[in-house]
């Protein structure tokens, strides 16, 4: 009897280890390409070796403020055809009241068996590029999470879920499975951090350098600076300093930030990159 129990335990551990080692999935992330251009990308969670995974389809849902429209530019991999279905937030507000002042786009694709390049863990593979029209300065662009109130509503049956149907096993057969695990990295962006066209001060009056930087940001100005603020792309203020000509940023995570300089003549905003 002890021998049988031991064999069962060993078998269970081997099975658990095998499933852990062979976790081969993709998550989705939102990438800010600048000038209200964005990309939804797949982030690899495994090393495919020399195998180029074969795709069948993928999809996701974007949420924007009511009235904001999106132009979808490219679908990848090569040969992919995509459909963006607009959904009025009011039509689903009974399932999620927060959608009453928002609009949605559900994106579905047919990849025509296009392949991803062989990849290592942690690589980013572009899927869909798009432009948010009108340069909105309020509200957020959000990728709908599968566990959100709306997406998980039983009445929808998962119809707004993100997914990716792909064959990730290098063998003689092509079997498509949904290998989506969730969202990662950036999932929403606050438009208030992108409205850089409201500069009152001219670039000849304010110079910000170096950019990109990993240590400090220098601010050279022909006017008196009252204060400086910095925001991440989610709209969260990460620092505020009174009247300065140099900012230490080596404590901040790498990424894109919005630097706002205030004076009695107005304000100046600029995107800065911390490496």
Handedness of CA 273, 200, 137, 244 (dihedral sign): positive
Residue 260: pLDDT above 90? no
Distance of CA 67 to the CA centre of its chain: 21
Per-residue pLDDT for 19 more than 60? no
How large is the average pLDDT for residues 26-37?
89
Which stretch of 19-33, 46-60, 87-101, 180-194 has the lowest confidence by average pLDDT?
19-33
159 vs 8: CA distance, rounded Å: 40
Specify the pLDDT at position 119.
96
Percentage of residues of the chain with pLDDT beyond 70: 88
pLDDT tens by residue, 97-117: 999 999 999 999 999 999 999
Average model confidence (pLDDT) across the chain:
86
| pLDDT higher than threshold 80 for residue 123 | yes
Categorize the per-residue pLDDT at 36 as very low, low, confident or very high, splitting at 50, 70 and 90.
Answer: confident
- Give me the pLDDT at residue 267, please: 77
Residue 198 has pLDDT above 70, yes or no: no
pLDDT greater than 50 at residue 35: yes
Confidence band (pLDDT; 50, 70, 90) for 255?
confident
| C-alpha dist (Å) from residue 81 to 26, 110, 157, 235 | 20, 5, 24, 33
pLDDT on residue 94: 98
Q: What is the pLDDT of residues 172-184, one digit of tens each?
A: 999 999 999 999 9
- Measured distance CA(226)–CA(263) in Å, rounded: 5
More confident residue, 157 or 199: 157
Q: pLDDT confidence of 201, banded at 50, 70, 90?
A: low
CATH match for 25-191 among 2.60.40, 3.40.190, 3.40.210, 3.30.450: 2.60.40
Q: What per-residue confidence (pLDDT) applies to 206?
A: 82
Helical (H) or strand (E) element with 176: none
Question: pLDDT category, 200, cuts 50, 70, 90?
Answer: low
Beta bridge partners of 209: 218
Cα Rg of the chain (Å, integer) = 23
CATH architecture of 196-274: Sandwich (2.60)
Query: Distances from the Cα of 203 to the Cαs of 199, 207, 209, 219, 258, in angstroms?
Result: 9, 6, 12, 11, 15
More confident residue, 190 or 105: 105
Residue 5 has pLDDT above 70, yes or no: no
Domain extents in the chain: 25-191, 196-274
Give me the sheet containing 216-221, strands edge to edge: 206-209, 216-221, 246-248
Residue 228: its H or E element: strand 227-232
What's the predicted TM-score (pTM) here? 0.71
Q: Which two tokens stand for residue 191?
A: 């438009």
Task: Using pLDDT thresholds of 50, 70 and 90, give the confidence band for residue 203.
Answer: low
- Is the per-residue pLDDT at 33 higher than 90? no
Whether 25-191 shares its CATH topology with 196-274 is answered: yes
The DSSP string of 39-58 is EEEEEE-S--TT--PEEEEE
Residue 141 has pLDDT above 80, yes or no: yes
């Amino acid at each position: 009897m002890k021998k049988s129990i031991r064999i069962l335990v060993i078998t269970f551990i081997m099975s658990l280890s095998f499933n852990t080692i062979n976790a081969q999935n993709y998550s989705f992330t939102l990438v800010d390409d600048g000038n209200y251009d964005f990309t939804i990308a797949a982030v690899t969670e495994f090393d495919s070796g020399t195998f180029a995974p074969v795709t069948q389809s993928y999809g996701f849902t974007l949420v924007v403020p009511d009235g904001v429209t999106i132009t979808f530019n490219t679908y990848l991999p090569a040969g992919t055809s995509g459909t963006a279905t607009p959904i009025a937030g009011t039509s689903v507000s009974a399932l999620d009241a927060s959608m009453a002042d928002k609009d949605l786009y559900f994106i579905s694709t047919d990849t025509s068996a296009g392949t991803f390049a062989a990849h290592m863990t942690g690589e980013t593979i572009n899927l869909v590029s798009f432009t948010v029209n009108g340069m909105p300065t309020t509200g957020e662009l959000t990728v709908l999470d599968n566990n959100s109130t709306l997406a998980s509503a039983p009445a929808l049956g998962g119809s707004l879920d993100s997914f990716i149907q792909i064959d990730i096993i290098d063998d003689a057969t092509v079997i498509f499975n949904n290998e989506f695990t969730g969202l990662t990295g950036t999932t929403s962006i606050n438009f208030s951090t992108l409205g850089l066209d409201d500069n009152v001060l001219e670039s000849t009056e304010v110079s910000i350098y170096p950019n990109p930087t990993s240590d400090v940001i220098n601010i050279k100005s022909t006017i008196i600076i009252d204060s400086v603020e910095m925001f991440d792309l989610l709209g969260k203020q990460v620092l505020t300093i009174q009247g300065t000509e140099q900012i230490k940023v080596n404590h901040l995570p790498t990424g894109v930030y919005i630097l706002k300089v205030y004076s009695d003549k107005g304000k100046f905003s600029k995107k800065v990159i911390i490496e």
